Amino acid sequence: MEQLQDFFARETPRMTALADQIWALAELRYAETASARLHMEALAASGFRVTADVAGIPTAFMAEWGDAGPVIAFLGEYDALSGLNQQSGALVCTPSVDSPGLAGHGCGHHLLGTSAHFAAIALQAHLLASGEKARVRYYGCPAEEGGSGKTFMARAGVFDDVDVALTWHPASFTGVFSQSTLANIQAKFIFHGKASHAAHSPHLGRSALDAVELMNVGVNYLREHMPPSARVHYAVTDSGGLSPNVVQARAEVLYLIRAARNDEAADLYARVQNVARGAALMTDCQVEIVFDKACSNLLQNRTLNQVLYERLQAEGALAVDAGTQAQAGDFQATLSSDEIDAVSRPLSSVLRGKVPKVFEGVAPYDPQVDDILFGSTDVADVSWIAPTAQAWVACYAFGTPMHSWQMVSQGQSTLAHAGMVRAARVLAGTAIELVRRPELIAQAKAELLERRQGKPYACPIPADVPLPFKRQ
């Protein structure tokens, strides 16, 4: 990586500006038109061949450079979250004057996508200088937040010839993303009843809202009898109107069903469907079930994780100045002790009772520990197709929770930018090591086959489920 020092120094201002532009855009799932265009234009200017509209998704794209060697893929994201509009740098929850709408980058995807982009052009620069061969790819992946963009891309075969996939995620600490994640299925349950006057002739009505409520009650009783690692969440997306004197003829609830493995998620989804059908029977309504999206459980790859861990260690501590430390301390003061403890507890062997304002080191990696992160990611579907590795990299005050206004507010900070550049260096360095040592790629592929027990990838989204958006 030493020969890339000048490259990173030269390109950092441009990449920082790109991340800040995408932070300000704050576009939601499958609507990341401007963000995707910024990435595509910059990669094309760097000599990459850009393919737009990948998998039939207008905000998905692939950029490739090189014609020979292993296919090294960097996975980029750039979608925001609804309801998290926030003024940059503010120490209280404050609506932003810098970005329109109600969305905000509460998961740092403006940094994620830009750093992966930075790593791709850094690997390109290394290959040009060294004469080594690889096909460098950047995948612009929309709708990670609630849209499973990569899963739809995987269903279309977009990742089938990838040899290795690398990515990362902004966090408040640094280490290997070594946990498995939960598979999930998201579906709409739309109940159709019959309207009537709620006082004069309620006996003539059939309440769709009653059906939604009964379904929710039934699923709550189901919770005691599902696997301990499973999770079921819901949001009532249509309560049937604003007039209480009308029996609601239509109501809708959106369910997200999670479990440790794809088959467990599918089994639990079948049981939730039966609860919905029971609610429809009890209210004399009809229920329409619309499969929205899904993603798989993440398959770890210890071979790649070890290479990534060594690169993280080689980067050394993240040194930040006193001003950055002070700013991080100000943000940390806005967090509850429980929020900080949720991050501190798994790192107790490193912290030794001290809570830093900025996590400057690297969390230890133990390949023998198989933990579950009780969340989901569509990176998981890529991990079933090609060996995949991810890093966590500190970009926020220690303890900052995901999907919070504090994370949005810190998204343009010096610490966020420093973490973004560090992540790019780590990903590029990992890729360079894999290009130089092709036996590691072969070993990672063999490990993936073993983890899949010889079975091919089966997309959890059925072939007849349409993309979950309407074309403009």
Domain boundaries in the chain? Answer: 2-180+297-451, 183-295
The pLDDT assigned to 3 comes to 75
The pLDDT assigned to 55 comes to 97
Contact 167, 383 (CB under 8 A): no
Number of H helices, E strands in the chain: 14, 15
The pLDDT assigned to 99 comes to 65
User: What CATH number matches the domain at 183-295, 3.40.50.300, 3.20.20.70, 3.40.50.150, 3.30.70.360?
Assistant: 3.30.70.360
- Those residues whose C-beta lies under 8 Å from the C-beta of residue 173, and which sit 6 or more positions away, are 343, 347, 359, 363, 392, 394, 398
- Those residues whose C-beta lies under 8 Å from the C-beta of residue 438, and which sit 6 or more positions away, are 70
Q: Which of 190, 192, 289, 188 is nearest to 247 (CA)?
A: 192
> Given the structure tokens 């000599």, which residue do they identify?
47
pTM assigned to the model: 0.95
Q: What is the chain's length?
A: 472
The pLDDT assigned to 469 comes to 77
Contact 278, 218 (CB under 8 A): yes
DSSP string across 214-262: HHHHHHHHHGGGS-TT-EEEEEEEE-S-S-TTB--SEEEEEEEEEESSH
Q: Does domain 2-180+297-451 have CATH number 3.30.360.10?
A: no
Question: pLDDT digit of tens for each residue in the chain (472 aa)?
Answer: 667 899 999 999 999 999 999 999 999 999 999 999 999 999 999 999 999 999 999 999 999 999 999 999 999 999 999 999 999 999 999 988 766 678 999 999 999 999 999 999 999 999 999 999 999 999 999 999 989 999 999 999 999 999 999 999 999 999 999 999 999 999 999 999 999 999 999 999 999 999 999 999 999 999 999 999 999 999 999 999 999 999 999 999 999 999 999 999 999 999 999 999 999 999 999 999 999 999 999 999 999 999 999 999 999 888 899 999 999 999 999 999 999 999 999 898 889 889 999 999 999 999 988 889 899 999 999 999 999 999 999 999 999 999 999 999 999 999 999 999 999 999 999 999 999 999 999 999 999 999 999 889 999 999 999 998 765 4
d(CA 281, CA 5) in angstroms, rounded, equals 67
DSSP type of residue 457: P
